[in-house]
Structure 1
Amino acid sequence: MLSHLLTSLIDDIHGDTITLKELLERSGRQGMLLICALATLPFLIPVSIPGVSTVFGAAIVLLAAALFLNRLPWLPQRILNKPLDAKKLVPVLRKGVGVVSKIDRWVQPRWLGLTSGTLLRLNCAAVVFGGVLLMAPLGPIPFSNTAPAVGILLLTVGLLQRDGLFVILGYLGLVLSVVYFSVLGYLAWTGGTYLFG
């Protein structure tokens, strides 16, 4: 179960700080997708940790791009070695695992064609897109990180557990994120026009 994999990964975090490089080294065979799933957890609950959105969003983009290209990931040393405050991060990750554990009971291998072949690359491209949305500088706006994080999480859960239904739900989450961002953009534009027009 994904929640157990994530819990064991979090249990290995010791010390005052943790880097993305250390997380990758500990994540094993399916590490890239697992790290993508782990990177969404801080955004599932309303707690802000400075710097996490940029680091984890960039990591998701680069790891999913590597999966899309079917090659080993390349990550800049600046992202790999940026220290994150483990004392703040670990409790948030544990709360995120609580959300994932509720999802676990519904996951099962089904609609396998949606998680393999050509569609696998399309799914990885969708995760890249979700990571770009996650990196958008809209942190103070409610749900601006949560919406794409949920889409990415559902996609990665679907790919890790070979559940095509969760892949579709992940796409739905990303579509709703785009709609939400579009509404925010429209409101900002009309508000600016009203104030300065």
Structure 2
Amino acid sequence: MSDGQSPEGRPPETSTGSEATADACRNPASALLDDFLSHDHGERIALGDLMGILGDRAFGALLLLLSIPNVLPVPGLSTVTGLPMILIGAQMLMGLDRPWLPRRVAAATVDRDAFLRVVKRAHPTIDRLERHLRPRLPALTDGTAERLLGLAVIVLAAVLALPIVFGNQPPAFAIALIALGLIEKDGAFVAAGLAAGLVAIAIVAAVVLGLGQAAVLMFHKIFG
């Protein structure tokens, strides 16, 4: 390699800064989905299996996979995916290095075909988002910031797990943005996720308030 070129025949560090950055930050999230889709799954996918597929990848990867079925969404998955995300947020808040799930939670399963179908649907969108991802605003992704993000994930995942019609998509979208920001160390996406989270909480609060007011009116009509 005396000519200073890579095995592919091009200099390893001589591409333009924008191209190098794009190539560097496009692989992780899309590769995560590719690895998951190419895995030999059983008839049902246990949450513990997700941990095995992800290997030593960090919190963002697992949060992304768990949030996707709620963004699109897949009916019936908000609770089974919301609880693990609450646990993951708690582990981030405690400063753990990698996520883990208790045995009973890890044993929970989801339908393989439905899960794979929704991940395939999300893949093109993740590809498009990756074009805008790059390492920036590190103060929002590292150290203390990551621990504080755990608290945000706990709140959003708790809202997501509530049995509210159309109430799981907004917080799931916010978690997905935060997850992408963690995977790619992109503080701008983390900030966007936090902003989306505030909007999601406001939306769900408005829905809950509206349902409460409707219930009160109905009660008065029936018993008043």
* TM-score normalised by the chain length of structure 1: 0.90
Which of residues 171, 188, 192 is equivalent to 1:169? Answer: 192
**Pair 1:24 & 2:51 matched:** yes
1:83/1:27 CA distance change after superposition, 3 Å? same
| Displacement after TM superposition at 1:79 (Å) | 1.7
| Displacement after TM superposition at 1:178 (Å) | 0.8
Asked if the contact 1:151/1:173 (under 8 Å) is kept, the reply is yes
Q: Could you tell me how far apart the structure 2 residues matched to 1:13 and 1:44 are?
A: 24
Q: Could you tell me how far apart the structure 1 residues matched to 2:198 and 2:48 are?
A: 31
Asked if the contact 1:7/1:94 (under 8 Å) is kept, the reply is no
| Partner SS state of residue 38, structure 1 | helix
Which of residues 43, 52, 55 is equivalent to 2:70? Answer: 43
Q: For structure 1, which segment, 93-102 or 160-169, has the greater mean C-alpha deviation from structure 2 after superposition?
A: 93-102
| Displacement after TM superposition at 1:73 (Å) | 4.4
Q: Which amino acid aligns with 2:68?
A: L
Q: Could you tell me how far apart the structure 1 residues matched to 2:73 and 2:137 are?
A: 33
RMSD of aligned Cα (Å): 1.6
| Partner SS state of residue 79, structure 1 | helix
Asked if the contact 2:58/2:99 (under 8 Å) is kept, the reply is no
Q: Could you tell me how far apart the structure 1 residues matched to 2:204 and 2:56 are?
A: 35
1:62-92 alpha-carbon deviations (Å, 9 max, x no partner): 1221122123545332221122210221111
Asked if the contact 2:170/2:196 (under 8 Å) is kept, the reply is yes
**Pair 1:58 & 2:87 matched:** no
Q: Percent identity?
A: 27
| Partner SS state of residue 42, structure 2 | coil
Which of structures 1 and 2 has the bigger CA Rg?
Answer: 2
**Pair 1:159 & 2:186 matched:** no
Q: Which amino acid aligns with 1:116?
A: D
Asked if the contact 1:33/1:64 (under 8 Å) is kept, the reply is no
Moved over 6 A (4+): none
Runs (5+) with no aligned partner, structure 2:
1-26
Q: Which residue pairs with 2:5 in the alignment?
A: none
**Pair 1:121 & 2:144 matched:** no
Q: Could you tell me how far apart the structure 1 residues matched to 2:161 and 2:40 are?
A: 24
* TM-score normalised by the chain length of structure 2: 0.80
**Pair 1:108 & 2:134 matched:** yes
| Displacement after TM superposition at 1:20 (Å) | 0.7
Q: Could you tell me how far apart the structure 2 residues matched to 1:46 and 1:29 are?
A: 27
Structure-to-structure mapping, 1:128-167, within 5 angstroms: 128-138=154-164, 141-142=165-166, 144-167=167-190
Runs (5+) with no aligned partner, structure 1:
none
Asked if the contact 1:41/1:97 (under 8 Å) is kept, the reply is no
| Partner SS state of residue 194, structure 2 | helix
Q: Could you tell me how far apart the structure 1 residues matched to 2:162 and 2:125 are?
A: 23
Q: Which residue pairs with 1:186 in the alignment?
A: 209
Asked if the contact 1:155/1:171 (under 8 Å) is kept, the reply is yes
| Partner SS state of residue 133, structure 2 | coil
